[in-house]
Structure 1
Protein backbone atom coordinates (compact mmCIF):
# COMPACT_ATOMS: atom_id res chain seq x y z
CA UNK A 1 0.00 0.00 0.00
CA UNK A 2 2.91 2.32 0.74
CA UNK A 3 5.87 3.04 -1.52
CA UNK A 4 9.51 3.12 -0.42
CA UNK A 5 9.76 6.75 -1.56
CA UNK A 6 7.03 7.77 0.89
CA UNK A 7 9.18 6.52 3.76
CA UNK A 8 12.38 8.17 2.55
CA UNK A 9 10.50 11.41 1.90
CA UNK A 10 9.44 11.51 5.55
CA UNK A 11 13.06 10.92 6.58
CA UNK A 12 14.22 13.88 4.50
CA UNK A 13 11.85 16.18 6.38
CA UNK A 14 13.88 15.58 9.55
CA UNK A 15 17.08 16.60 7.74
CA UNK A 16 15.50 19.88 6.67
CA UNK A 17 11.85 20.93 6.26
CA UNK A 18 10.60 20.68 2.67
CA UNK A 19 8.20 23.61 2.74
CA UNK A 20 8.57 25.38 -0.60
CA UNK A 21 5.04 26.41 -1.65
CA UNK A 22 3.73 25.88 1.88
CA UNK A 23 2.39 28.68 4.07
CA UNK A 24 3.82 29.25 7.55
CA UNK A 25 0.88 28.83 9.91
CA UNK A 26 1.98 29.02 13.53
CA UNK A 27 4.74 28.31 16.01
CA UNK A 28 4.41 27.59 19.73
CA UNK A 29 6.07 25.43 22.39
CA UNK A 30 8.83 24.29 20.00
CA UNK A 31 6.24 23.19 17.43
CA UNK A 32 6.22 24.77 13.96
CA UNK A 33 3.31 24.19 11.58
CA UNK A 34 2.99 24.86 7.85
CA UNK A 35 -0.10 24.35 5.73
CA UNK A 36 -1.02 23.86 2.07
CA UNK A 37 -4.46 24.63 0.65
CA UNK A 38 -6.30 21.83 -1.14
CA UNK A 39 -8.44 23.48 -3.81
CA UNK A 40 -10.54 20.37 -4.39
CA UNK A 41 -11.72 20.06 -0.77
CA UNK A 42 -11.24 23.63 0.41
CA UNK A 43 -9.26 22.29 3.36
CA UNK A 44 -5.60 22.37 4.36
CA UNK A 45 -3.02 19.70 4.85
CA UNK A 46 -0.39 20.32 7.48
CA UNK A 47 3.28 19.71 8.12
CA UNK A 48 4.31 19.74 11.77
CA UNK A 49 7.87 19.90 13.11
CA UNK A 50 8.55 19.55 16.80
CA UNK A 51 10.36 17.73 19.56
CA UNK A 52 9.47 15.30 22.32
CA UNK A 53 11.58 15.01 25.46
CA UNK A 54 11.63 11.18 25.31
CA UNK A 55 13.78 8.80 23.26
CA UNK A 56 12.48 7.91 19.75
CA UNK A 57 12.23 4.16 20.42
CA UNK A 58 9.71 4.78 23.21
CA UNK A 59 7.87 7.38 21.11
CA UNK A 60 7.47 4.90 18.24
CA UNK A 61 6.18 2.17 20.54
CA UNK A 62 3.67 4.51 22.19
CA UNK A 63 2.56 5.83 18.79
CA UNK A 64 1.80 2.29 17.60
CA UNK A 65 0.28 0.91 20.82
CA UNK A 66 -3.47 1.34 20.38
CA UNK A 67 -4.30 -0.40 23.67
CA UNK A 68 -2.26 2.19 25.55
CA UNK A 69 -3.66 5.06 23.52
CA UNK A 70 -7.16 4.22 24.67
CA UNK A 71 -5.95 5.10 28.15
CA UNK A 72 -4.15 8.40 27.54
CA UNK A 73 -6.00 9.99 24.60
CA UNK A 74 -9.30 11.49 25.80
CA UNK A 75 -10.52 11.99 22.21
CA UNK A 76 -10.63 8.25 21.58
CA UNK A 77 -14.11 6.76 21.69
CA UNK A 78 -13.28 3.43 20.05
CA UNK A 79 -9.85 2.32 18.82
CA UNK A 80 -9.15 -1.25 17.78
CA UNK A 81 -7.56 -3.44 15.17
CA UNK A 82 -9.88 -5.04 12.61
CA UNK A 83 -9.33 -7.55 9.84
CA UNK A 84 -10.26 -6.59 6.29
CA UNK A 85 -9.75 -9.15 3.51
CA UNK A 86 -7.12 -10.94 5.54
CA UNK A 87 -5.13 -7.80 6.38
CA UNK A 88 -4.96 -5.83 9.62
CA UNK A 89 -6.44 -2.34 9.69
CA UNK A 90 -7.41 0.10 12.43
CA UNK A 91 -10.89 1.32 13.33
CA UNK A 92 -10.84 4.68 15.11
CA UNK A 93 -13.88 6.58 16.42
CA UNK A 94 -13.07 10.11 17.64
CA UNK A 95 -15.07 12.19 20.08
CA UNK A 96 -16.07 15.55 18.56
CA UNK A 97 -17.38 18.47 20.66
CA UNK A 98 -21.16 18.64 21.11
CA UNK A 99 -23.30 19.19 19.06
CA UNK A 100 -21.17 17.77 16.25
CA UNK A 101 -21.22 14.09 15.35
CA UNK A 102 -18.28 11.83 16.08
CA UNK A 103 -16.04 10.86 13.17
CA UNK A 104 -14.72 7.39 12.47
CA UNK A 105 -11.84 6.18 10.34
CA UNK A 106 -10.71 2.87 8.91
CA UNK A 107 -7.07 2.94 7.89
CA UNK A 108 -4.02 0.84 7.32
CA UNK A 109 -0.65 1.76 8.73
CA UNK A 110 2.94 0.59 8.54
CA UNK A 111 5.99 1.23 10.72
CA UNK A 112 9.49 0.94 9.31
CA UNK A 113 12.81 1.47 11.04
CA UNK A 114 15.26 2.95 8.53
CA UNK A 115 18.93 3.85 8.47
CA UNK A 116 18.91 7.26 6.80
CA UNK A 117 22.20 9.10 6.40
CA UNK A 118 23.62 7.35 9.43
CA UNK A 119 20.62 7.97 11.69
CA UNK A 120 17.97 5.50 12.82
CA UNK A 121 14.58 6.86 11.81
CA UNK A 122 11.17 5.46 12.69
CA UNK A 123 8.59 6.20 10.00
CA UNK A 124 4.86 5.48 10.30
CA UNK A 125 2.53 5.88 7.32
CA UNK A 126 -1.26 5.66 7.55
CA UNK A 127 -4.00 5.95 4.94
CA UNK A 128 -7.76 5.46 4.93
CA UNK A 129 -9.19 2.45 3.14
CA UNK A 130 -12.64 1.97 1.66
CA UNK A 131 -14.50 -1.12 2.79
CA UNK A 132 -18.04 -2.37 3.23
CA UNK A 133 -16.92 -4.88 5.87
CA UNK A 134 -17.50 -2.31 8.62
CA UNK A 135 -20.81 -0.52 8.02
CA UNK A 136 -21.17 3.15 8.87
CA UNK A 137 -22.85 3.83 12.19
CA UNK A 138 -25.89 6.05 12.65
CA UNK A 139 -24.88 9.46 13.97
CA UNK A 140 -21.18 8.96 13.13
CA UNK A 141 -19.55 10.49 10.04
CA UNK A 142 -17.19 8.17 8.16
CA UNK A 143 -13.95 9.92 7.12
CA UNK A 144 -12.71 8.28 3.94
CA UNK A 145 -10.05 10.77 2.85
CA UNK A 146 -7.26 10.63 5.41
CA UNK A 147 -3.51 10.22 5.21
CA UNK A 148 -0.71 10.79 7.64
CA UNK A 149 3.03 10.29 7.84
CA UNK A 150 5.26 10.63 10.88
CA UNK A 151 9.03 10.39 11.31
CA UNK A 152 10.98 10.21 14.56
CA UNK A 153 14.70 10.22 15.26
CA UNK A 154 17.07 11.05 18.10
CA UNK A 155 17.86 14.71 18.68
CA UNK A 156 21.24 13.66 20.06
CA UNK A 157 20.32 14.71 23.59
CA UNK A 158 18.07 11.88 24.72
CA UNK A 159 14.94 13.32 23.10
CA UNK A 160 13.17 12.97 19.77
CA UNK A 161 13.03 15.14 16.69
CA UNK A 162 9.56 14.67 15.20
CA UNK A 163 7.85 15.38 11.88
CA UNK A 164 4.24 14.79 10.87
CA UNK A 165 2.27 15.41 7.70
CA UNK A 166 -1.48 15.25 8.09
CA UNK A 167 -4.61 15.63 6.00
CA UNK A 168 -8.19 14.55 6.40
CA UNK A 169 -11.59 15.65 5.21
CA UNK A 170 -13.95 15.39 8.21
CA UNK A 171 -16.96 16.37 6.09
CA UNK A 172 -19.90 18.34 7.38
CA UNK A 173 -20.07 21.99 8.38
CA UNK A 174 -17.25 22.22 10.91
CA UNK A 175 -16.67 25.81 12.05
CA UNK A 176 -13.46 27.44 10.81
CA UNK A 177 -12.58 28.42 14.38
CA UNK A 178 -12.57 24.77 15.43
CA UNK A 179 -10.34 23.73 12.54
CA UNK A 180 -7.93 26.55 13.35
CA UNK A 181 -7.99 25.67 17.04
CA UNK A 182 -7.23 22.03 16.28
CA UNK A 183 -4.25 22.99 14.13
CA UNK A 184 -2.86 25.83 16.26
CA UNK A 185 -3.60 24.57 19.74
CA UNK A 186 -4.66 20.95 19.49
CA UNK A 187 -1.47 19.74 17.79
CA UNK A 188 0.96 21.17 20.38
CA UNK A 189 -1.34 19.91 23.14
CA UNK A 190 -1.36 16.46 21.59
CA UNK A 191 2.44 16.33 21.46
CA UNK A 192 2.55 17.41 25.11
CA UNK A 193 0.04 14.74 26.08
CA UNK A 194 1.93 12.11 24.09
CA UNK A 195 5.17 13.14 25.81
CA UNK A 196 3.51 12.54 29.18
CA UNK A 197 2.20 9.20 27.91
CA UNK A 198 5.72 8.20 26.78
CA UNK A 199 7.10 8.93 30.23
CA UNK A 200 4.48 6.66 31.76
CA UNK A 201 4.89 3.82 29.26
CA UNK A 202 7.22 1.63 31.33
CA UNK A 203 4.83 1.83 34.28
CA UNK A 204 1.93 0.90 31.97
CA UNK A 205 3.82 -2.14 30.63
CA UNK A 206 4.68 -3.24 34.18
CA UNK A 207 1.03 -2.99 35.21
CA UNK A 208 0.03 -5.20 32.28
CA UNK A 209 2.64 -7.78 33.24
CA UNK A 210 1.41 -7.87 36.81
CA UNK A 211 -2.28 -8.10 35.95
Structure 2
Protein backbone atom coordinates (compact mmCIF):
# COMPACT_ATOMS: atom_id res chain seq x y z
CA UNK A 1 0.00 0.00 0.00
CA UNK A 2 1.50 3.31 -1.04
CA UNK A 3 -0.85 5.67 0.77
CA UNK A 4 -2.09 3.53 3.66
CA UNK A 5 -0.51 1.40 6.33
CA UNK A 6 -2.10 -1.51 8.13
CA UNK A 7 -2.32 -1.00 11.85
CA UNK A 8 -2.69 -3.48 14.70
CA UNK A 9 -2.74 -6.68 12.73
CA UNK A 10 -4.37 -9.86 13.97
CA UNK A 11 -3.47 -11.22 17.37
CA UNK A 12 -0.18 -13.15 17.36
CA UNK A 13 -0.11 -16.68 18.66
CA UNK A 14 0.21 -16.87 22.42
CA UNK A 15 3.51 -18.19 23.70
CA UNK A 16 4.62 -19.43 27.08
CA UNK A 17 6.47 -17.47 29.72
CA UNK A 18 9.85 -19.09 29.01
CA UNK A 19 9.53 -18.30 25.31
CA UNK A 20 8.77 -14.73 26.26
CA UNK A 21 11.90 -14.49 28.37
CA UNK A 22 14.00 -16.02 25.58
CA UNK A 23 12.60 -13.54 23.06
CA UNK A 24 13.39 -10.70 25.45
CA UNK A 25 17.10 -11.50 25.17
CA UNK A 26 16.83 -10.43 21.54
CA UNK A 27 14.96 -7.25 22.39
CA UNK A 28 11.44 -8.59 21.96
CA UNK A 29 9.18 -9.67 24.84
CA UNK A 30 6.30 -11.93 23.93
CA UNK A 31 4.84 -12.30 27.42
CA UNK A 32 2.64 -9.28 26.69
CA UNK A 33 1.12 -9.00 23.22
CA UNK A 34 -0.30 -6.05 21.34
CA UNK A 35 -4.10 -6.33 21.05
CA UNK A 36 -4.34 -8.81 23.91
CA UNK A 37 -5.83 -7.71 27.23
CA UNK A 38 -3.83 -9.50 29.89
CA UNK A 39 -3.63 -9.38 33.67
CA UNK A 40 0.10 -9.34 34.32
CA UNK A 41 1.59 -12.29 36.18
CA UNK A 42 4.66 -12.82 38.36
CA UNK A 43 6.72 -13.75 35.29
CA UNK A 44 5.91 -10.40 33.67
CA UNK A 45 7.04 -8.40 36.69
CA UNK A 46 10.18 -10.54 36.93
CA UNK A 47 10.91 -9.70 33.29
CA UNK A 48 10.56 -6.00 34.07
CA UNK A 49 13.00 -6.23 36.98
CA UNK A 50 15.51 -8.15 34.87
CA UNK A 51 15.10 -5.64 32.07
CA UNK A 52 16.34 -2.84 34.31
CA UNK A 53 19.00 -4.81 36.17
CA UNK A 54 20.72 -6.36 33.15
CA UNK A 55 22.59 -4.05 30.77
CA UNK A 56 23.94 -6.76 28.44
CA UNK A 57 23.41 -5.83 24.78
CA UNK A 58 22.38 -2.30 25.74
CA UNK A 59 24.28 0.78 24.54
CA UNK A 60 24.53 3.68 26.97
CA UNK A 61 23.78 6.84 24.98
CA UNK A 62 23.41 9.35 27.83
CA UNK A 63 25.13 9.47 31.24
CA UNK A 64 25.03 12.73 33.15
CA UNK A 65 24.64 13.37 36.86
CA UNK A 66 21.82 11.16 38.13
CA UNK A 67 20.37 10.04 34.78
CA UNK A 68 21.37 7.30 32.35
CA UNK A 69 19.71 6.31 29.07
CA UNK A 70 20.32 3.12 27.07
CA UNK A 71 19.09 1.77 23.73
CA UNK A 72 18.89 -1.74 22.33
CA UNK A 73 18.08 -2.78 18.79
CA UNK A 74 15.04 -4.96 18.17
CA UNK A 75 15.62 -7.15 15.09
CA UNK A 76 11.92 -7.36 14.25
CA UNK A 77 11.29 -3.61 14.53
CA UNK A 78 12.45 -0.39 12.92
CA UNK A 79 12.49 1.21 16.36
CA UNK A 80 14.87 0.42 19.18
CA UNK A 81 13.95 -0.21 22.79
CA UNK A 82 14.83 2.60 25.19
CA UNK A 83 15.36 2.50 28.93
CA UNK A 84 16.41 5.07 31.51
CA UNK A 85 17.33 5.22 35.18
CA UNK A 86 17.00 8.41 37.18
CA UNK A 87 17.96 8.73 40.85
CA UNK A 88 15.83 11.31 42.64
CA UNK A 89 17.43 11.75 46.09
CA UNK A 90 14.78 14.18 47.32
CA UNK A 91 11.67 12.27 46.18
CA UNK A 92 10.11 9.22 47.81
CA UNK A 93 8.97 6.27 45.73
CA UNK A 94 5.37 6.82 46.85
CA UNK A 95 5.36 10.42 45.60
CA UNK A 96 6.84 9.45 42.22
CA UNK A 97 4.23 6.68 41.92
CA UNK A 98 1.41 9.11 42.70
CA UNK A 99 2.68 11.68 40.20
CA UNK A 100 2.72 9.13 37.38
CA UNK A 101 -0.80 8.02 38.27
CA UNK A 102 -2.64 11.23 39.15
CA UNK A 103 -4.61 12.36 36.06
CA UNK A 104 -5.46 15.70 37.66
CA UNK A 105 -1.79 16.58 38.06
CA UNK A 106 -0.47 15.27 34.75
CA UNK A 107 -1.26 18.43 32.73
CA UNK A 108 1.01 20.31 35.12
CA UNK A 109 4.11 18.50 33.89
CA UNK A 110 3.32 16.45 30.77
CA UNK A 111 3.28 19.13 28.08
CA UNK A 112 3.08 16.48 25.36
CA UNK A 113 -0.39 15.40 26.50
CA UNK A 114 -3.26 16.72 24.40
CA UNK A 115 -5.98 14.48 25.81
CA UNK A 116 -6.28 11.58 28.24
CA UNK A 117 -9.40 9.58 28.98
CA UNK A 118 -10.11 6.55 31.11
CA UNK A 119 -12.01 4.18 28.83
CA UNK A 120 -12.86 1.89 31.72
CA UNK A 121 -11.68 -0.38 34.51
CA UNK A 122 -10.84 -4.06 34.07
CA UNK A 123 -10.10 -4.74 37.73
CA UNK A 124 -8.64 -2.69 40.62
CA UNK A 125 -5.15 -2.84 39.09
CA UNK A 126 -5.89 -2.67 35.36
CA UNK A 127 -7.69 -0.22 33.13
CA UNK A 128 -7.87 0.88 29.51
CA UNK A 129 -7.09 4.46 28.61
CA UNK A 130 -6.90 6.75 25.58
CA UNK A 131 -3.90 9.06 25.32
CA UNK A 132 -3.25 11.71 22.65
CA UNK A 133 0.22 13.21 22.49
CA UNK A 134 1.38 16.28 20.61
CA UNK A 135 4.43 16.00 18.41
CA UNK A 136 7.20 18.52 18.05
CA UNK A 137 6.07 20.76 15.19
CA UNK A 138 5.94 19.97 12.29
CA UNK A 139 5.40 16.31 13.29
CA UNK A 140 1.82 15.03 13.35
CA UNK A 141 0.26 14.25 16.72
CA UNK A 142 -0.10 10.60 17.75
CA UNK A 143 -2.70 8.80 19.83
CA UNK A 144 -2.84 5.46 21.60
CA UNK A 145 -5.32 3.11 23.23
CA UNK A 146 -3.58 1.18 26.00
CA UNK A 147 -4.13 -1.23 28.80
CA UNK A 148 -2.43 0.00 31.96
CA UNK A 149 -1.42 -2.32 34.79
CA UNK A 150 0.02 -1.35 38.14
CA UNK A 151 1.33 -3.06 41.26
CA UNK A 152 2.65 -1.66 44.54
CA UNK A 153 4.70 -4.14 46.56
CA UNK A 154 5.96 -1.52 49.00
CA UNK A 155 9.67 -1.38 48.18
CA UNK A 156 8.94 -1.59 44.44
CA UNK A 157 6.12 -0.08 42.40
CA UNK A 158 5.27 -0.96 38.79
CA UNK A 159 3.24 0.81 36.11
CA UNK A 160 3.03 -0.93 32.73
CA UNK A 161 1.13 -0.41 29.49
CA UNK A 162 0.69 -1.85 26.00
CA UNK A 163 -1.60 -1.17 23.05
CA UNK A 164 -5.01 -2.79 22.81
CA UNK A 165 -8.15 -2.12 20.77
CA UNK A 166 -11.50 -0.78 21.93
CA UNK A 167 -14.49 -0.51 19.64
CA UNK A 168 -15.35 3.01 20.86
CA UNK A 169 -11.83 4.33 20.16
CA UNK A 170 -10.88 3.67 16.52
CA UNK A 171 -8.26 5.88 14.81
CA UNK A 172 -9.50 9.46 14.43
CA UNK A 173 -8.82 12.19 11.91
CA UNK A 174 -5.91 14.45 12.76
CA UNK A 175 -3.92 11.81 14.65
CA UNK A 176 -1.64 8.96 13.68
CA UNK A 177 -2.55 5.89 15.75
CA UNK A 178 0.66 4.55 17.26
CA UNK A 179 1.45 1.20 18.84
CA UNK A 180 3.03 0.61 22.25
CA UNK A 181 4.49 -2.88 22.33
CA UNK A 182 5.48 -2.58 25.98
CA UNK A 183 6.22 0.25 28.38
CA UNK A 184 7.13 -0.05 32.05
CA UNK A 185 8.02 2.11 35.01
CA UNK A 186 9.73 0.59 38.02
CA UNK A 187 10.04 2.87 41.03
CA UNK A 188 12.29 1.53 43.75
CA UNK A 189 13.00 2.92 47.20
CA UNK A 190 16.65 3.88 47.66
CA UNK A 191 18.70 4.61 50.77
CA UNK A 192 18.14 8.24 49.84
CA UNK A 193 15.07 9.04 47.77
CA UNK A 194 14.16 6.64 44.96
CA UNK A 195 15.23 5.27 41.61
CA UNK A 196 12.76 5.83 38.78
CA UNK A 197 13.34 3.43 35.89
CA UNK A 198 11.56 3.61 32.56
CA UNK A 199 11.60 1.36 29.49
CA UNK A 200 9.63 1.48 26.27
CA UNK A 201 9.37 -0.15 22.88
CA UNK A 202 6.85 1.47 20.57
CA UNK A 203 6.10 2.25 16.95
CA UNK A 204 4.71 5.76 16.35
CA UNK A 205 3.73 4.68 12.82
CA UNK A 206 4.18 6.76 9.72
CA UNK A 207 7.65 7.39 8.28
CA UNK A 208 9.98 9.34 10.56
CA UNK A 209 13.53 10.65 10.03
CA UNK A 210 16.44 8.56 11.31
CA UNK A 211 17.79 11.40 13.45
CA UNK A 212 14.67 11.49 15.63
CA UNK A 213 15.67 8.53 17.83
CA UNK A 214 18.96 10.24 18.67
CA UNK A 215 17.07 13.38 19.62
CA UNK A 216 14.62 11.40 21.76
CA UNK A 217 17.27 9.50 23.70
CA UNK A 218 19.91 12.20 24.11
CA UNK A 219 17.83 15.36 24.49
CA UNK A 220 14.09 14.98 24.89
CA UNK A 221 14.12 11.94 27.18
CA UNK A 222 16.53 13.41 29.75
CA UNK A 223 14.62 16.69 29.70
CA UNK A 224 11.36 14.90 30.37
CA UNK A 225 12.92 13.07 33.33
CA UNK A 226 14.17 16.38 34.68
CA UNK A 227 10.69 17.85 34.28
CA UNK A 228 9.17 14.82 36.02
CA UNK A 229 11.63 15.26 38.90
CA UNK A 230 10.57 18.87 39.34
CA UNK A 231 6.92 17.82 39.19
CA UNK A 232 7.52 15.29 41.97
CA UNK A 233 9.00 17.99 44.20
CA UNK A 234 5.93 20.19 43.74
CA UNK A 235 3.33 17.43 44.01
CA UNK A 236 2.88 17.13 47.82
CA UNK A 237 1.98 20.82 48.18
CA UNK A 238 -0.29 20.72 45.12
CA UNK A 239 -2.05 17.55 46.23
CA UNK A 240 -2.72 18.98 49.68
CA UNK A 241 -5.06 21.50 48.00
CA UNK A 242 -6.45 19.25 45.25
CA UNK A 243 -8.52 16.31 46.49
CA UNK A 244 -5.78 15.13 48.86
CA UNK A 245 -7.53 11.88 49.78
CA UNK A 246 -8.44 10.90 46.20
CA UNK A 247 -6.02 8.20 45.03
CA UNK A 248 -7.99 5.42 43.32
CA UNK A 249 -4.77 3.74 42.20
CA UNK A 250 -4.19 3.03 45.91
CA UNK A 251 -7.74 2.86 47.28
CA UNK A 252 -9.93 0.56 45.12
CA UNK A 253 -13.11 1.69 46.89
CA UNK A 254 -12.68 5.04 45.12
CA UNK A 255 -13.12 3.28 41.76
CA UNK A 256 -16.83 2.62 42.33
CA UNK A 257 -17.94 5.17 39.73
CA UNK A 258 -15.58 3.93 37.00
CA UNK A 259 -17.02 2.29 33.89
CA UNK A 260 -16.34 -1.46 33.77
CA UNK A 261 -14.71 -2.76 30.60
CA UNK A 262 -16.59 -5.33 28.56
CA UNK A 263 -13.79 -7.46 27.13
CA UNK A 264 -15.88 -8.18 24.04
CA UNK A 265 -15.29 -4.51 23.12
CA UNK A 266 -11.54 -5.17 23.06
CA UNK A 267 -11.30 -7.72 20.27
CA UNK A 268 -8.32 -7.30 17.90
CA UNK A 269 -9.10 -5.15 14.89
CA UNK A 270 -7.42 -4.30 11.61
CA UNK A 271 -7.29 -0.59 10.84
CA UNK A 272 -5.98 1.15 7.76
CA UNK A 273 -4.80 4.71 8.02
CA UNK A 274 -3.03 7.14 5.74
CA UNK A 275 0.72 6.62 5.68
CA UNK A 276 2.15 9.93 6.87
CA UNK A 277 5.64 10.50 5.47
CA UNK A 278 7.60 12.82 7.75
CA UNK A 279 11.01 11.38 6.91
CA UNK A 280 12.12 14.55 5.13
CA UNK A 281 11.79 16.78 8.21
CA UNK A 282 15.18 18.33 8.94
CA UNK A 283 16.50 18.36 12.50
CA UNK A 284 17.24 22.08 12.33
CA UNK A 285 13.57 22.78 11.66
CA UNK A 286 12.49 21.25 14.99
CA UNK A 287 12.63 23.23 18.20
CA UNK A 288 12.58 21.05 21.31
CA UNK A 289 11.48 24.05 23.36
CA UNK A 290 8.15 24.07 21.51
CA UNK A 291 6.93 21.37 23.87
CA UNK A 292 9.38 21.27 26.77
Instruction: Quickly name the TM-score band, shorter chain normalised.
Output: 0.7 to 0.9
Q: Is 2:173 the partner of 1:138?
A: yes
**Larger Rg belongs to:** 2
Once the 2 structures are TM-superposed, how far is the Cα of residue 95 of structure 1 from its aligned partner?
Answer: 0.6
Instruction: Supply the RMSD in Å over aligned alpha carbons.
Output: 2.1
User: What's the counterpart of residue 6 of structure 1?
Assistant: 44
Q: Is 2:188 the partner of 1:149?
A: no
User: What's the counterpart of residue 80 of structure 1?
Assistant: 117
User: What's the counterpart of residue 134 of structure 2?
Assistant: 95
**Partners of 1:29 and 1:107 in 2: CA distance:** 33
- Normalised TM-score (structure 1): 0.87
User: Which structure has more strand as a fraction of its residues?
Assistant: 1
**Partners of 2:224 and 2:180 in 1: CA distance:** 21
Once the 2 structures are TM-superposed, how far is the Cα of residue 176 of structure 1 from its aligned partner?
Answer: 2.2
User: What's the counterpart of residue 107 of structure 2?
Assistant: 70
Q: Pairwise mapping of residues 1-211 of structure 1 onto structure 2 (< 5 A)?
A: 1=38, 2-12=40-50, 17-53=53-89, 54-83=91-120, 88-114=127-153, 120-157=155-192, 159-209=193-243
Once the 2 structures are TM-superposed, how far is the Cα of residue 121 of structure 1 from its aligned partner?
Answer: 0.6
**Partners of 1:5 and 1:209 in 2: CA distance:** 36
Q: Which runs of 5+ in 2 are unaligned?
A: 1-37, 245-292
Aligned residues: 203
Q: 1:112-164, CA deviations, whole angstroms, 9 ceiling, x for partnerless residues?
A: 1226xxxx11111111112332121112001123311111112211x111222
Q: Which runs of 5+ in 1 are unaligned?
A: none
Q: 1:29-85, CA deviations, whole angstroms, 9 ceiling, x for partnerless residues?
A: 322222111222221001212212311010001111122112221111001211288
User: What's the counterpart of residue 22 of structure 2?
Assistant: none
**Partners of 1:6 and 1:41 in 2: CA distance:** 21
Judge conservation of contact 1:29–1:188 (CA < 8 Å) in 2: no
Local SS of the residue matching 1:208: coil
- Normalised TM-score (structure 2): 0.64
- Cα 1:153–1:22 change in 2 (3 A) is same
Judge conservation of contact 1:11–1:121 (CA < 8 Å) in 2: no
**Partners of 2:224 and 2:56 in 1: CA distance:** 26
Judge conservation of contact 1:79–1:93 (CA < 8 Å) in 2: yes
